[in-house]
Amino acid sequence: MSKFRFRKRKQKQLRTPRELPVKAMLPNLITLMSAASGITSIRFSCDGQWRYAVIAITIACFLDGLDGRMARMLKVTSKLGEQLDSLADFVGFGVAPAIFTYFWIMEVVPAGSPLYPIRGIFWAFALFYALCCAFRLARFNIMIDDGPSQPYWKHFFVGLPSPGAAGLVLTPAILDLHFESALLQSPWTGCAMLIICGILMASRVPTLSMKKMHISTRYQIPVAVFVIFVIGMLVSHSWITLGTIGVCYLISIPVCGIIFLRLRASYDKRTPQQPPLASVTPEPSKQT
């Protein structure tokens, strides 16, 4: 009789849903808002509304940086949140910029243009970028628990992060919204950015990471003043400021590569190389 009661109580516990705190849902809701913003950018790109498409991807970048920090602050990180974040990043920073760039290129390649018959090549470059983003995110999920252990990697990402790649791909379009230059809205400019950013995402090139970067106390006030100035420029001259940030970020990639090589060389000099262990053939055990 006692076994029957225990079994019935256990079945009742299994049927009873567990309570979930509201704060545990906030990071996932922010991630879903990021994905929704990326999907909305695709809609604006299909309609040729470039300004709203860029704004939607910019909002997705902001929300992507917010959800992880909120999850760690509230101590509600989960495997579901990690996978949901990767899917949102693929939509917002992989698919949305690729579709944006394709339609942005096709705006200057009408039906009578000599480049119109080879428009499939432009779509192939967009697919290449999106697939490199998917590869980048899959590799990042694997490397969460098994990333580079050397100390000189702590200030660098392995490859170009997907939000940074989306920003670089959109940089010519952002500058074109300010200058309205035919050179910026060239098919070759858009294809070059898709190829370069796709390769950088799939590669192991070190890029700047500010997660573990610290600022000396004597530089706090100048840095704060500079950040306030940038915010003011974003409000008053949004497109030229965003474009300048994109250009500076692109220049930082080779600079980070040089700094990384120097740090690695310095670390290799300080760390003594251990000789490989000689293989020793074990003696056969004696039977008693």
DSSP state of 90: I
* DSSP codes joined into one string, 57-111: HHHHHHHHHHHHHHHHHHT---HHHHHHHHHHHIIIIIIHHHHHHHHHHHTTS-T
Min mean pLDDT across 143-147, 154-158, 219-223 is at 143-147
Distance CA 203, CA 145 (A): 19
Q: Region 187-198: what's the mean pLDDT? A: 93
The answer on pLDDT for 14 being more than 90 is no
The answer on pLDDT for 270 being more than 50 is yes
The answer on pLDDT for 287 being more than 80 is no
pLDDT for position 281: 47
Q: Which fold has domain 21-110+118-267?
A: Four Helix Bundle (Hemerythrin (Met), subunit A) (1.20.120)
Distance CA 81, CA 66 (A): 13
Q: What band does 215 get if pLDDT is binned at 50, 70 and 90? A: confident
Distance CA 235, CA 26 (A): 28
pLDDT for position 222: 86
The answer on pLDDT for 288 being more than 50 is no
How much is the pTM?
Answer: 0.82
Min mean pLDDT across 9-18, 26-35, 133-142 is at 9-18
The answer on pLDDT for 283 being more than 50 is no
The answer on pLDDT for 147 being more than 70 is no
Domain ranges of the chain: 21-110+118-267
Q: Region 124-153: what's the mean pLDDT? A: 83
> Is residue 260 within 8 Å of residue 156, measured between CB atoms?
yes
pLDDT for position 144: 65
> Is residue 196 within 8 Å of residue 204, measured between CB atoms?
no
More confident residue, 270 or 239: 239
Q: pLDDT tens for residues 65-116?
A: 888 788 788 777 777 778 888 899 999 999 999 999 999 999 988 888 888 8
pLDDT for position 19: 63
Min mean pLDDT across 20-24, 28-32, 82-86, 203-207 is at 20-24
Q: pLDDT tens for residues 45-66?
A: 999 899 999 999 999 999 988 8
Average pLDDT, the chain: 83
Min mean pLDDT across 97-106, 112-121, 125-134, 240-249 is at 112-121
